[in-house]
Amino acid sequence: MDNYIFIRVVGKGSYGEVNLVKHKTDRKQYVIKKLNLITSSKRERRSAEQEAQLLSRLRHPNIVMYRESWEGEDCQLYIVMGFCEGGDLYHRLKQQKGELLPERQVVEWFVQIAMALQYLHERNILHRDLKTQNIFLTKTNIIKVGDLGIARVLENQNDMASTLIGTPYYMSPELLSNKPYNHKVNCPPALTLSSFICKCL
């Protein structure tokens, strides 16, 4: 943490907390996700470590940017990511309070989500928890898909996964039916997102 200046806490939960910071050298703002390795469960640790590992390999304008991660002497895992000033899509839509979103904006968001998913699928990565709470916005309304903690990397395009995991409301029929699945399971959530966004039209 020596390279960062703490600004404020932006999120807190059972996993730990997320802090907004500024880098001392480049003066840019980032978020640092902190996970207590002593009090967290094995699943939470595995999820955080996987997210850091996956993000470090990804470079796409519509996926949350990874800067660095490390395990501190205080037994905390730190993951530094790009700061999305616009918050998540869930709260952005709630702020509308019945006010209509421009159709062009909805189309732009949907295309950006699709481009991020295509990038992940080309690398045999299943997000498995695509929902409005895991899709973020920059101050210029650019989409950033994040939270890859329960993502799954397949061996190849013909490989299948079988674990029932994710958020029920956004799950695909294959998951709910306990059937093996591949990257196509991200299509129903994407359609759910589009229909949710279109409620604001």
Q: What is the pLDDT of residues 77-95, one digit of tens each?
A: 999 999 999 999 989 988 9
Q: Where are the alpha helices (DSSP H) in 63-172?
A: 89-94, 103-122
Strands (E), 45-193: 66-71, 76-82, 125-126, 135-137, 143-145, 152-153
Bigger pLDDT: 178 vs 49: 49
Q: Is residue 74 annotated as part of the catalytic site, yes or no?
A: no
Average pLDDT, the chain: 79
In the predicted model, what is the mean pLDDT of residues 61-85? 94
199 is in an annotated binding site: no
- The angle formed by the CA atoms of residues 76, 82 and 84, to the nearest 5 degrees, is 115
| Residue 10 pLDDT level (bands cut at 50, 70, 90) | very high
Alpha-carbon span 166 to 54, nearest angstrom: 18
Q: What pTM did the predictor assign? A: 0.77
Alpha-carbon span 34 to 8, nearest angstrom: 13
pLDDT(181) > 90: no
pLDDT per residue over 116-159, tens digit each? Answer: 988 988 888 877 778 888 899 999 999 999 887 656 664 444 43
pLDDT(160) > 80: no
Report yes or no: 87 and 134 within 8 Å, Cβ to Cβ: no
Residue reference for tokens 């061996």: 155
Percent of the chain with pLDDT over 70: 72
In the predicted model, what is the mean pLDDT of residues 19-39? 94
pLDDT(97) > 80: yes
CATH fold of 4-82, please? Phosphorylase Kinase; domain 1 (3.30.200)
DSSP helix/strand/coil, 163: coil
Alpha-carbon span 115 to 118, nearest angstrom: 5
Element housing 53 (H / E):
helix 42-57
| Residue 174 pLDDT level (bands cut at 50, 70, 90) | low
Residue reference for tokens 């996970």: 35
Q: What are the structural domain ranges in the chain?
A: 4-82, 89-198
Q: Does domain 89-198 have CATH number 1.10.510.10?
A: yes
Alpha-carbon span 113 to 122, nearest angstrom: 14
Bigger pLDDT: 174 vs 161: 174
Question: Most confidently modeled of 30-34, 119-123, 159-163, 177-181?
Answer: 30-34
Those residues whose C-beta lies under 8 Å from the C-beta of residue 158, and which sit 6 or more positions away, are 182
pLDDT per residue over 42-55, tens digit each? Answer: 888 888 888 888 88
Task: Please pick, among 2, 26, 129, 147, the residue that the annotation labels catalytic.
Answer: 129
| Residue 172 pLDDT level (bands cut at 50, 70, 90) | low
